[in-house]
Structure 1
Amino acid sequence: MAALPLARSFASSSSSSLLFSNLASSPSTSLSFLATSSLSLSASTNYSYASPLLPSPRRVSSLCSTSSSSSGRLVVSAAEKKKVLIVNTNSGGHAIIGFYFAKELLSKGHSVTILTVGDEASDKMKKPPFSRFSEIVSAGGKTVWGDPAEVAKVVGGESFDVVLDNNGKDLDTVRPVIDWAKSSGVKQFLFISSAGIYKPTEEPPHLEGEVVKASAGHVGVEQYLAEVYESWAVFRPQYMIGSGNNKDCEEWFFDRIVRDRPVPIPGSGMQLTNIAHARDLSSMLTLVVENSSAASGNIFNCVSDRAVTLDGMARLCAQAAGKSVNIVHYDPESIGIDSKKAFPFRNMHFYAEPRAAKDILGWKGTTNLPEDLKERYEEYVKIGRDKKPMEFALDDKILESLKVPVAA
């Protein structure tokens, strides 16, 4: 069966400048504005690992087959209960993935142990999501701390069906976990990589199988895993939100909006990015655990199926807070500012699409930024961050250079 061409469409609504959606369409479909989005590719489409040095075509070929119904959709059988080990990072935006994944698995009746890097008594463990690990324990899960390089010792010789590494960013860090898992009979290995490894493209969004940066540490892990493991899957997330996140995303915007400060955004503000709720990441991961045969040997963009502009993110955050927003655009180079330090997102189009998860797993995203941001703002106020004293040195430098006044 010939692969379907991958065309693009953008959602049009009263807030079309804020949220964009992508879908697969027929060969005759041209770039158009639509009110809804959908994706339905053949269930035999393969999104398996390709060399990062060779660009893959944007039309994915039909190379593998899965059990499907007469309509061509994946047939999901009842899943067996499995023992899962999550090796979780102790900091950064990815920490929330392990937390949500553990809770999702436990709600489905699976057994979960979450191994967090470091020491349980460290200051890092006093912050979310670690401060909420009691929720995992109360749901029947187990929490341990230690060095992933000594994973056998940390888990006390316990056996598992599945291991997820949500910690390592390079092969030196992840190889000990992969080697231990293989030697101890773990059937399925999952790895949290990053959509940041894709090479910039003139034709976004990033799709599974496209060329990546060979120098990126995650790529070495992906290659090694594909070489030594029979049943594996790789996930490439982008920015994420959700209760328990300990890396500023929406908070960066709230900090300025609630204090009636201008929100400085580099460039035009029309750059597209992708923000997914952590519950969507965990639901995708859980589907892979419960459908290991279909998922084996595949890469999944672990992202929402909608994009948002940088200006749109500012406006949606203001909407969630019930406030107005004053957006100011600037050129980082002309001001002498490093936008990586002054702004929480990349200053470029940076978004991917979860086509493999939709096609292979029948996954559906639930991220709804306007609603999800309302929840996040309520939590923001609840912890008192809206009243916390803050300094905005880089903002002030930007605003001063633009001669934009700031209220005292």
Structure 2
Amino acid sequence: MAFAAAAASTATALASGRLSAASSARPRRASSRPSFSLSASPRAVAARRRAAPAVRAAVSVRAEAKKSVLVVNTNSGGHAVIGFYFAKELLAAGHAVTVLTVGDEGSDKMKKPPFSRFSELTSAGGKTVWGDPADVAAAVGGASFDVVLDNNGKDLDAVKPVVDWAKSSGVGQFLFISSAGIYKPTEEPPHVEGDAVKESAGHVGVEKYIAEQFGSWASFRPQYMIGSGNNKDCEEWFFDRIVRGRPVPIPGNGMQLTNIAHVRDLSSMLALAVESPGAAAGRIFNCVSDRAVTLDGMARLCAAAAGAAVEIVHYDPAAAGVDAKKAFPFRNMHFYAEPRAAKEVLGWASTTNLAEDLKERYAEYAGSGRGDKAMTFDLDDKILAAVGKAPAGVSV
């Protein structure tokens, strides 16, 4: 009984990030805080851009030990692009990659990115299949794999069949895309690996189960992300208003901090775990960039990327009678994590440069024609009317 209790305690600690497979938790505030400057001098920006190729080369997966990797990829939401970039990076390094996407190849969802760009994977030697993660064996036709990444399930009901199949099939390493949203709010941001999590969150149950089933496993907790191929509106929400000359309504005072990473940073972190399974084993990784941005700062950076001015209007959601979760794409609070474990354990480095990366996203936005389409902004108009800034002709 004592052994069983100790094992359960260890599994819980592993899932929360308090323990690694080889060591106990480090002191929570062992390293200095990152800089939260929203802008840099032209010289500093230029230096970062010149250094980026070298950094990316440093975190690319070495091709010495070729592996066969299965990516179980979601067919919706913002996480699908993670699997796409991860597959591209592994294929470029010479690994064999199969992407199993949930659902049917002929569904309307497959007409949108990143699925509409899967030819980039197949032309690089990758394989794409569709099916039900509850029956992986049928979907992959009996193929065997060294590594499995579940980038689909959010609870144990969805992920357990994949884990069980992987274990019975002799898979050596299991990786899981979790979420930084499982952390409990803290008075001392940023979140670091080992901070308290919401035990009721589905991702937490998955992390615990994987820790019980695999010796070589790792969980990655992303936040918000941008990058070519992403189909979840975040920066587009700002562009929609900026290009039409509309005010951008931001809840609170706009100084709330969040974290937005380019998806290439997320995929490079995952790739390093494949390269160094021993170092990654039994670890939790905050899969984020190493800089924060304020909500007002995000609006200004989007405006700069679009080459336009922006008017920011702050409001109290309760006073305006709106639900901030429906009216704004980010959490109305400080919500950001630090990638401490990835830097210390994997030697990972971030290449996200939000000001430059948003220019890439705006170019795609402008090319899509979305800025010329007719749109309604009913919630915005209600908010603006509540603070006395309703557009002409709008009454609430």
Normalised to the residue count of structure 2, the TM-score between the two structures is 0.86
* 1:188 shift after superposition: 0.1
* 1:333 shift after superposition: 1.1
Counterpart in the other structure of 1:10: 35
> What amino acid is the match of 2:356?
E
Say whether residues 1:133 and 2:118 are aligned partners. yes
> What amino acid is the match of 2:184?
K
Say whether residues 1:335 and 2:320 are aligned partners. yes
Counterpart in the other structure of 1:93: 78
Say whether residues 1:199 and 2:184 are aligned partners. yes
Structure 2 CA distance for aligned equivalents of residues 271 and 91 of structure 1: 27
The question of whether the paired residues in 1 share the 8 Å contact of 2:280 and 2:346 is answered with yes
Q: Any idea what SS the aligned residue of 1:306 has?
A: coil
Structure 2 CA distance for aligned equivalents of residues 326 and 289 of structure 1: 45
Counterpart in the other structure of 1:48: none
* Of 231, 234, 257, the match for 1:246: 231
The question of whether the paired residues in 1 share the 8 Å contact of 2:62 and 2:93 is answered with no
Say whether residues 1:359 and 2:336 are aligned partners. no
The question of whether the paired residues in 2 share the 8 Å contact of 1:206 and 1:352 is answered with yes
The gaps in structure 2 that reach 5 residues or longer are: 1-22, 42-47, 49-58
Say whether residues 1:392 and 2:377 are aligned partners. yes
Query: 1:59-138 to 2 correspondence within 5 Å?
Result: 79-138=64-123
Q: 1:271-320 deviations in whole A, cap 9, x for unaligned?
A: 00000001110000000001001110000000000000000000000000
Structure 2 CA distance for aligned equivalents of residues 238 and 87 of structure 1: 19
> What amino acid is the match of 1:116?
T
Q: Relative to structure 2, which stretch is displaced further, 1-10 or 385-394?
A: 1-10
Query: 1:246-395 to 2 correspondence within 5 Å?
Result: 246-395=231-380
> What amino acid is the match of 2:391?
V
Q: Pick closer, same or farther for the CA change 1:186–1:13 going to 2, 3 Å.
A: closer
Say whether residues 1:220 and 2:220 are aligned partners. no
Say whether residues 1:190 and 2:175 are aligned partners. yes
Aligned residues: 352
Q: Pick closer, same or farther for the CA change 1:14–1:141 going to 2, 3 Å.
A: closer
* 1:9 shift after superposition: 5.0
> What amino acid is the match of 1:10?
S
Q: Identify, as 1 or 2, the structure richer in helix.
A: 2
* 1:10 shift after superposition: 3.2
* 1:166 shift after superposition: 0.2
Structure 2 CA distance for aligned equivalents of residues 374 and 78 of structure 1: 32
The question of whether the paired residues in 2 share the 8 Å contact of 1:261 and 1:407 is answered with no
* 1:78 shift after superposition: 7.0
* Of 356, 363, 388, the match for 1:403: 388
Q: Any idea what SS the aligned residue of 1:189 has?
A: strand
Structure 2 CA distance for aligned equivalents of residues 77 and 87 of structure 1: 22
Counterpart in the other structure of 2:134: 149
The gaps in structure 1 that reach 5 residues or longer are: 17-35, 37-73
Identity %: 75
Q: 1:366-395 deviations in whole A, cap 9, x for unaligned?
A: 000000000100000011111011110100
Counterpart in the other structure of 1:22: none
Q: 1:186-224 deviations in whole A, cap 9, x for unaligned?
A: 000000000000000000000001110000000000000
Normalised to the residue count of structure 1, the TM-score between the two structures is 0.83
Q: Pick closer, same or farther for the CA change 1:131–1:206 going to 2, 3 Å.
A: same
Q: Pick closer, same or farther for the CA change 1:78–1:394 going to 2, 3 Å.
A: same
Structure 2 CA distance for aligned equivalents of residues 82 and 186 of structure 1: 11
Q: Pick closer, same or farther for the CA change 1:162–1:6 going to 2, 3 Å.
A: same
Structure 2 CA distance for aligned equivalents of residues 281 and 15 of structure 1: 23
Query: 1:42-61 to 2 correspondence within 5 Å?
Result: none
Counterpart in the other structure of 1:51: none
Structure 2 CA distance for aligned equivalents of residues 336 and 187 of structure 1: 52
